[in-house]
């Protein structure tokens, strides 16, 4: 199984370990699964429906906050500011994307 390395985040699916730079980051099972679902498709938009299916193994919507709560924990652990994220960005109405590079900022935030 391949190790994913994007920006300064490294994720090893086999050992279920995550590092930011040289420091290991402890993650719960769901946090790891959420991060793995995003980083394995870095640069692509992953829909909330896909995340519910792949991470929570369900096709029904348990709560619109489930993903947001876990995403908040993942962002906090990785030092990704939710107001100005550089790792995981939210594309309203489309889904989430793990950025392959730090997004450029143009003027005011939209």
Which pLDDT tens digit goes with each residue over 80-102? 998 999 999 999 989 999 999 97
Strands, E assignment, the chain: 4-6, 9-12, 17-20, 23-25, 45-46, 88-91, 95-98
pLDDT of residue 58 exceeding 90: no
pTM of the model: 0.90
- CB contact burial 81-105 (16+ within 10 A = b; e otherwise): eeeebebbeeeeeebbbbbeeeeee
pLDDT of residue 110 exceeding 60: no
Half-sphere exposure of 55 (CA within 13 A, CB side): 26
Sole residue written with tokens 């924990």 = 73
Comparison of pLDDT for 107 and 52, the residue scoring more = 52
- Whether domain 4-98 has CATH 3.40.50.460: the reply is no
Overall average pLDDT of the 28-54 stretch = 96
Domain assignments of the chain as residue spans, ordered by start: 4-98
């Amino acid at each position: 199984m391949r190790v994913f390395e994007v920006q300064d985040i490294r994720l090893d699916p086999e050992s279920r370990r995550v590092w930011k730079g040289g420091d290991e980051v402890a993650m719960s099972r769901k946090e790891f699964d959420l991060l793995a679902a995003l980083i394995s498709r870095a640069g692509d938009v992953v829909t909330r429906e896909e995340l519910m299916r792949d991470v929570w193994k369900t096709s029904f919507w348990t709560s619109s906050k489930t993903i947001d709560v876990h995403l908040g924990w993942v962002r906090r652990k990785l030092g990704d500011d939710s107001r100005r994220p550089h790792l995981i960005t939210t594309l309203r109405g489309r889904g989430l994307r793990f950025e392959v590079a730090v997004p450029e900022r143009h003027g005011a935030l939209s």
